[in-house]
Amino acid sequence: MRRLSTDAAELPAAGSHAVGSHALGSHALGAGRAVVGCHAVGSRADGARPDGARPAGSRAGGSHAIGSRAGKSRAGRSRAPGSERSEQAPAGRAVLARRPLLILAGLALLTTCEPPRPAKRTPQAAPEPEGAASALAEPSAVPGAKNGCPPQAALAREPEYYLRQGPRTIALTIDDGPDPRYTPAILDILARHGVTATFCMVGQNAAASPELVRRVAAAGHQLANHTWSHPDDLAKLTADQIQHEIELANRALHDATGVFPTFFRAPGGAFTRTALATCARLGLEPLAWSVDPDDWKRPGTDKIVDTVLRTTRTGSIILNHDGGGDRAQTVAALATYLPRLLDSGYRFANPAPSAPPAKAVPPAPSC
């Protein structure tokens, strides 16, 4: 019996928690079998004495056994004298033969009893800040897209507010034309002082005066897209309407000159997310400004001159208008402040396009 007891004692206790009266779904295998299972939630293994000692040849695998049958020797069976030795070898062989099965079952219990692990979560992109510019990519192709709007990681190019072409270099932009009354007068002033400017033209006006568009381009000035009809607020338009506004203006400028514009200026500077995405998709760069004398409000010639001279710095982009109403004050102000800026050491240059985007930009939703 010692060898059988020793073999049983060497059996590993597999598993973590067992529930029920059977270990691994089977009866205890006899006096020498280890109970493979988990901690007991009930009575001690049958046959254990009140003082805590285990019967010889039995071992409870784990800490405690659950139920009444695990760990029992075949109670109630009588043995003939001398039968212990004759049964010893077969019992030992049975235990040894079942040992691999018990080990495998114990490993299965370990897996079964292990608490479930939470599924890994894909990190989500941080939510986009309020009022940020639009996305370059379609939301379905961008991780972290939320509510149909792409995240911060795919934003379109920011509008250009400052010129970056060296010290004392500034830019002049003229909006809302061309206008047959004021655009020729402004062209004459610019030619007199050797200044080039960027004319942000409304498509309808360009289509109505294509010869004036050609005259502006022939004088070396830059043309920019300022939408087709100059809507008050691009945010109130759908994505299709915004694209229609920009594409029609592009076509009008191309029809007049044979060249597509490089820059786009949103009416009122309202660069919506969708407008920025549309610009990027069409190869247009958003152009803003940093000096605004509110000349379109006609505050007076002196007020326009004072604001321009007081706020212009290296890199400033000045906003003036040649269309959209009476622009006599703007014409007079230009004739006054242009020579003063030149005498102060400033030089004028047109905004230059930056490097193209790394990849093509698909449509974006209206956000």
Take residue 306 and report the two structure tokens written for it.
């004072």
Is residue 290 within 8 Å of 164, Cβ to Cβ? no
For the chain, report the end-to-end CA distance as a whole number of angstroms.
83
Write the DSSP string, 217-257: HHTT-EEEE--SS--S-GGGS-HHHHHHHHHHHHHHHHHHH
Task: Convert 246-295 into a string of H (helix), E (strand) and C (coil).
Answer: HHHHHHHHHHHHCCCCCEECCHHHCCCHHHHHHHHHHCCEEECCCECCCH
Is 64 an annotated catalytic residue? no
**Catalytic-labelled residue, pool 175, 176, 295, 322:** 175
What is d(CA 72, CA 193) in angstroms, rounded to the nearest whole number?
Answer: 111
Take residue 124 and report the two structure tokens written for it.
């989500």
Q: Which residues contact 358 (CB under 8 A, 6 or more apart)?
A: none
Is residue 4 within 8 Å of 32, Cβ to Cβ? yes
Does the bond joining 178 to the residue before it have cis omega, within 30 degrees of 0?
A: yes
**Catalytic-labelled residue, pool 221, 295, 321, 322:** 321
Q: Which residues contact 121 (CB under 8 A, 6 or more apart)?
A: none
Catalytic sites, residue numbers: 175, 321
